[in-house]
Amino acid sequence: MKKIITVLALLMIMTAGAFSAERYNYTWKDADGVLNITDYPPPEDAEIIDVSVIHMPEKKEITPAEQQQKALQRQDATQNRLQAQAASLRNEEAALRQKAVDLTEEAQELRRLSKKQRYKSRYRLRASNKEREAEELINRADALAGKAEALERQASRLK
Q: What is the pLDDT of residues 146-158, one digit of tens each?
A: 999 998 888 888 7
> Under a CB-based contact definition with an 8 Å cutoff, are residues 45 and 7 in contact?
no
C-alpha 77/C-alpha 89 separation (Å) is: 18
- 28 CB neighbour count, 10 Å cutoff: 19
Q: What is the mean pLDDT of residues 47-60?
A: 80
Q: What is the mean pLDDT of residues 139-147?
A: 93
For 64-157, CATH number? 1.10.287
pLDDT of residue 13: 61
Q: Which tops the pLDDT comparison, 26 or 59? A: 26
Enclosing H/E stretch for 24: strand 22-29
pLDDT of residue 137: 92
> Under a CB-based contact definition with an 8 Å cutoff, are residues 45 and 31 in contact?
yes
| Global confidence as pTM | 0.53
Domain boundaries, the chain: 2-55, 64-157
- 82 CB neighbour count, 10 Å cutoff: 19
- Measure the CA angle with vertex 23, ends 52 and 60; round to 5°: 135
**Nearest-CA neighbor of 3 among 37, 48, 40, 33?**
48
pLDDT of residue 95: 92
3-state DSSP assignment of residue 158: coil
- pLDDT for 101 beyond 90: yes
